[in-house]
Chains A and B, each alone.
Chain A
Amino acid sequence: MKKIVSVSLGSSKRDHKVNVVLLDTEFEISRLGTDGDFDRAIELLKELDGKVDAIGLGGIDLYLYAGQTRYAVQDGLRLAEVVKNTPVVDGSGLKNSLERETVRYLTQHSDLLKPGSKVLMVSALDRFGMAQSLTDSGCDMTFGDLIFSAGIPYPIKTLEELEEIARKTLPEMTKMPFHMLYPTGKKQDNQDDKKVEKFGHYYHEAEVIAGDFHLVKRYMPDGLNGQLVITNTTTAEDVEFIRQKGVAYLVTTTPEYNGRSFGTNVMEGVLLALLGKKWEDVTSEDYLELIGRLDMKPIIRKL
């Protein structure tokens, strides 16, 4: 049996464990949240090192991408560096393949995503592949990176401007404590009421809301009118939450096991274990070929 563990800076309320068989290989997949406790995450990573087949880092990124440029997140690297023997992934490699594929699938096999669809991506720098793919599909994009991460009410409308702002800010912002840029720990359990009130209109104006679920949820206003949400890591509770807000469709990009859509960091760990390659040797084509063999398709749910 292969063991994949996700160590997350997120809330421990979302911890879970499942056993699945994929391509005749048995997996035990679990997620351990540290409620934003960085030191606890380091302890856990040290404990797990050498004892499991892959470790996913959740609630934090190792790298952010804008175009061809990759920006290393210092807090993410600090976590990854304590693991000496087990492969560590943050999901960024898989996101780049799987989420492009999700957009392609939706445009070809559904009428949920059309050229001209108004899409709000709450954050694009952690999902540049999806941002690029949605743009290429002709969607009318709003990238909310400045709005939701920095509280600056400035919708970025093009990938070019997103890359330019990233070039100016990310080399320094990636050095800041990660919790300043992204909700970690208990913040993931609550909404930011002030920002919901101030920025909720961006959700109302969109037909599609895409991106990291913790951000999607944290700023989602009431009274939505049938929007589609494209995300992952949703629990049954989360699905009910967005349904009550007025979301009509949920598309999750990663497979569901026991009613739970897993994070890309976990799934990248699983795929890496199946490939039996070093992370640095794995290509997008490897992931795409394996995604095909596993018949991994986005899950479309009418709420």
Chain B
Amino acid sequence: MASHNEITESLQAFAEEYSNNKRLKIMNKDWNRKILVLANDIESGHTLVLNEGELSFTEGNVENPDLTVISDSEILVDMFYGDITPAEPYLKGTLKIIGSEDDILRLDFISLLIWGD
């Protein structure tokens, strides 16, 4: 089990990688979304905000998110550090993403473009 702080640190790493990737910012210029990241084994919520291609995150929950990502704390940390891809736990059912299919696919692509290869 990972801690809330470890999830925060993994999201920090994810946001930094994103910020260093100019191409991703161009790709997401049109995609303004609020993404709620919830752990289901500890009390932990974070909110990722994509706005005009820029990604930021805050601790705590947001109301009416466009996408909600739910998994156990270990998987969230592994995923945001790029140690595992979202496809793996998503297909096993240990990662749930609530939102439109188009948004889910796009979030997968972003993660792979950050951490893939």
Nearest CB of A to B106, in Å: 6
Residues from chain A with Cβ under 8 Å of B108 in the complex: 172-173, 176
Residue of A nearest to B29 (CB): A153
Q: Which of the candidate stretches A48-56, A88-96, A144-152 sits at the interface with the other chain? A: A144-152
Asked whether B105 lies within 8 Å of A151 as measured between CB atoms, the reply is yes
Query: Does B27 touch A at the CB level, under 8 Å?
Result: yes
B42 on the A face (CB < 8 A):
no
- Of all chain A residues, which has the CB nearest B31? A152
Residues of A within 8 A of B2 (CB): none
Number of CB contacts from chain A to chain B under 8 A: 55
What residues of B have a CB within 8 angstroms of the CB of A153 in the complex? Answer: 27, 29-30
Residue of A nearest to B26 (CB): A154
- In the complex, the answer to whether A152 meets B27 with C-beta atoms within 8 Å is yes
Stretch at the interface among B3-11, B44-52, B109-117: B109-117
In chain A, what residue has the closest Cβ to B102?
Answer: A151
Q: Is the CB of B109 within 8 A of A146?
A: yes
Q: What are the residues of chain B within 8 A of A198 when measuring CB–CB? A: 30
Q: Which of A26-34, A100-108, A162-170 contacts B (4 or more CB under 8 A)?
A: A162-170
Contact among B85, B91, B106 for A151, CB-based, below 8 A: B106
C-alpha gap A173/B108 in the complex (Å): 8
Main SS class of interface, B: helix
Answer yes or no: B87 CB below 8 A from chain A CBs.
yes
B63 contacts chain A at the CB level, 8 A cutoff: no
A171 contacts the other chain (Cβ, under 8 Å)?
A: yes
Q: Indicate if the CB atoms of B117 and A167 lie closer than 8 Å.
A: yes
Asked if B101 is at the interface of the complex by the 8 Å CB criterion, the answer is yes
* Residues of B with C-beta under 8 A to A167: 116-117
In the complex, what distance in Å separates the CA atom of A171 from the CA atom of B104?
17
**Which residues from A are CB-within-8-Å of B27?**
146, 152-154
The 18 listed contacts between A and B (C-beta, < 8 Å) are A146-B27, A150-B105, A150-B106, A151-B105, A153-B27, A153-B29, A153-B30, A164-B117, A168-B112, A168-B116, A169-B109, A172-B86, A172-B112, A173-B108, A173-B109, A176-B87, A176-B105, A180-B105
